[in-house]
Amino acid sequence: MRPERLVVVVGTGTDVGKTWVSARLLATLRAAGVTVAARKPAQSFSPGDDPAGLDAAVLGAASGEPAATVCRPRRCYEVAMAPPMAADVLGRGRFTMAELVGELEWPRTRVEVGLVESAGGVRSPLSHDGDAVALVDALAPEIVLLVADAGLGTLNAVRLCTGALPGGVQVVTVVNRYDAHDELHVRNRRWLREQDGLHVVGLPGEESALAELVRGR
């Protein structure tokens, strides 16, 4: 059953903090009494990584779900590459975006906010025939959160990614690791808001504001 509000979390690249942002958002929503669920269509990782630190486990801890519910075990690839590349290396077969989307199962009792987190950057392959742009297009979420770094390169990365995302969907840029005392961070955020007309939220510090946006308030 589709959640009342569906949010897709994408990033300008790898290691910008998509999972951290997602977990903070889920925890904030739950603390406000909102029912949530999290899904990771596919994840890849190094074989020696701590299972508790994997994306699905972190998201599950925040949403109150088992990691195996957040990301199906068959879509967990123990090679640190884009999921379809990791699947090729492991000899585990090709998969399509339609398959990933079809495998997303939500709780039988409808939740208020469902979160789907992509892998890598906006144009990083998520399946053999699609990326995060294709995921957004297929799911038609109520809101997309674009997670970006706060420092050098932010403006270019955000502009490229917002230009690639499908039109007609609300996009909120989450400037992660934001420091209100860092002049570059402040100027980047101001430029994105005033020059590019984007909706920008800074984390940490504005979790409640982000939660209200996700809830459509």
Residue 195 lies in a domain: yes
What's the pTM value of the predicted model, to 2 decimals? Answer: 0.96
Average pLDDT over residues 172-185: 98
Predicted local distance difference test score (pLDDT) of residue 98: 98
pLDDT band for 187, please (50, 70, 90 cuts).
very high
Percent of the chain past pLDDT 90, that is, above it, reads 98
Residue 158 lies in a domain: yes
pLDDT band for 215, please (50, 70, 90 cuts).
very high
Tell me the H-state helices in the chain. Answer: 18-31, 55-63, 67-70, 83-90, 97-102, 132-139, 154-164, 183-194, 207-214
Predicted local distance difference test score (pLDDT) of residue 69: 98
Task: Assign 36 to helix, strand or coil.
Answer: strand
Residue 190 lies in a domain: yes
Residue 38 lies in a domain: yes
Q: Which two tokens stand for residue 151?
A: 């420092």
Residue 70 lies in a domain: no
Which positions are catalytic? 40
pLDDT band for 1, please (50, 70, 90 cuts).
confident
- Please check the confidence at residue 211 and state whether its pLDDT lies above 90: yes
- Please check the confidence at residue 182 and state whether its pLDDT lies above 90: yes
Q: Which domain holds residue 116?
A: 5-42+96-214
d(CA 9, CA 21): 9
Handedness of CA 2, 175, 19, 132 (dihedral sign): positive
Residue 23 lies in a domain: yes
Residue 66 lies in a domain: no
Predicted local distance difference test score (pLDDT) of residue 145: 98
d(CA 6, CA 37): 10
pLDDT tens figures, 95-153: 999 999 999 999 999 999 999 999 999 999 999 999 999 999 999 999 999 999 999 99
Predicted local distance difference test score (pLDDT) of residue 217: 84
Residue 49 lies in a domain: no
Predicted local distance difference test score (pLDDT) of residue 173: 98
Burial class (CB in 10 A: 0-12, 13-18, 19+), 123: middle
d(CA 113, CA 27): 12
How many structural domains is the chain composed of? Answer: 1
Backbone angles phi, psi at 71, to 5 degrees: -135, 120
CB neighbourhood size of 106 (10 A): 14
> Residue 173 maps to which CATH number?
3.40.50.300
Predicted local distance difference test score (pLDDT) of residue 92: 96
pLDDT tens figures, 11-55: 999 999 999 999 999 999 999 999 999 999 999 999 999 999 999
Least confident of 46-50, 88-92, 182-186: 46-50
